[in-house]
């Protein structure tokens, strides 16, 4: 389950530019696995579930980006997604997109935003 708006995820400065970070909330079937990607001073949040199989995009830790850091990449079959809106750009998810989680930067913190 998504934490309430205003919940602090981490400091923006803790993330390289660009880089991603994984977060999880809750347990069991209601658990929410999500990640954020920093690109410059902006952050983008998504549910950590690939539209292809529903499995997580990262195969270890906070690795969500393709080599070079310009796109999000699923580790399982290599689908690539645009950082800014989660649209699939190539791979078996063509025409689909990641599910967004609204986040914003507030006083240097990455926080959950209102939808």
Instruction: Give yes or no for residue 100 binding ligand FES (CB under 6 A).
Output: no
Would you mind telling me the total number of residues written for the chain in this entry? 115
* Stretch 19-78 residues interacting with ligand FES (CB under 6 A): 50, 52-53, 55, 74, 76-77
**Tokens 């796109």 appear where?**
71
Apex 24 CA angle, 48 and 54, nearest 5: 25
Residue 54 Ramachandran class (φ > 0 left, ψ -120 to 50 alpha, else beta): left
Number of residues that bind ligand FES (CB under 6 A): 11
Which of 76, 109 has the CB closer to ligand FES?
76
Out of 79, 83, 101, 110, point to the residue binding ligand FES (CB under 6 A).
79
Instruction: Give yes or no for residue 92 binding ligand FES (CB under 6 A).
Output: yes
Signed CA dihedral, 96, 57, 83, 27: sign only = positive
Q: Rule CB under 6 A: which residues touch ligand FES? A: 50, 52-53, 55, 74, 76-77, 79, 91-93
């Amino acid at each position: 389950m998504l934490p309430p708006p205003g919940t602090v995820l981490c400091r923006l400065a803790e993330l390289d530019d660009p880089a991603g970070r994984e977060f999880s909330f809750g347990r069991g079937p209601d658990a929410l696995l999500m990640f954020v990607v920093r690109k410059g001073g902006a952050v983008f949040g998504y549910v950590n579930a690939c539209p292809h199989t529903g499995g997580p995009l990262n195969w270890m830790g906070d690795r969500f980006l393709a080599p070079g850091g310009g796109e999000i990449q699923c580790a399982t079959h290599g689908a690539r997604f645009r950082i800014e809106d989660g649209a699939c750009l190539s791979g078996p998810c063509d025409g689909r997109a990641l599910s967004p989680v609204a986040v914003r930067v507030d006083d240097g913190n990455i926080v959950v935003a209102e939808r």
